[in-house]
Amino acid sequence: MQLRLGDAKNDTPTDVLMNAARSSGSASPLLVEELFNMGPYLAIASGRPSPPGEPAKSPINLQGIWNQDRRPAWDSDLHTDLNY
C-alpha cells in the first residue's frame, strides 16, 4: 500500500518538510505522503521477532506504550486489523 498525492518524486528530507509545515502552518502533500507511508513500515517493524536472548515484544495495539490513561479508549486492546 502506498499513497501518492501528486506526480512529483519526493527527494526532500522529512525534517525539511516538517520545518516547512511548522513555519507555514500547513502540511505539504509530500509530507502527508511521507507520514502515511510510514505507518505500514512502523507496523511491520514493531511486529518483528525479538533477537535471540532478548525478551519477547508485545504485539502492537491501538495506542502503544505511550498511553498514560488508566482507562484508555477502546480498552487499548490488541488488533490485527490495522486501519490505515
Contact present, 36 and 5 (Cβ < 8 Å): no
Tell me whether residue 34 is in a domain.
yes
Establish if 66 belongs to a structural domain: yes
Return the pLDDT at 81: 60
Whose CA is closest to 38, among 58, 14, 21? Answer: 14
Give a yes or no: residue 3 inside a domain: no
- DSSP sequence for 21-47: HHHHSS--HHHHHHHHHHHHHHHHHHT
| Host domain of residue 53 | 14-76
Model-level pTM? 0.56
Amino acid residing at 59: P
* Residue 26 located in a structural domain: yes
Is residue 84 a part of any domain in this protein? Answer: no
Per the domain annotation, does 70 fall within a domain?
yes
Number of domains in the chain: 1
Cell numbers given for 25: 502552518
Q: Please state the separation of Cα 46 from the chain's center in Å.
A: 10
What does the pLDDT profile of the chain (84 residues) look like in tens digits? 778 887 777 788 989 999 999 999 999 999 998 888 888 877 777 767 778 888 877 666 656 566 677 777 666 666 556 565
pLDDT score of 6? 78
* pLDDT at site 22: 96
Residue pair 72/27 in contact (Cβ under 8 Å)? The answer is no
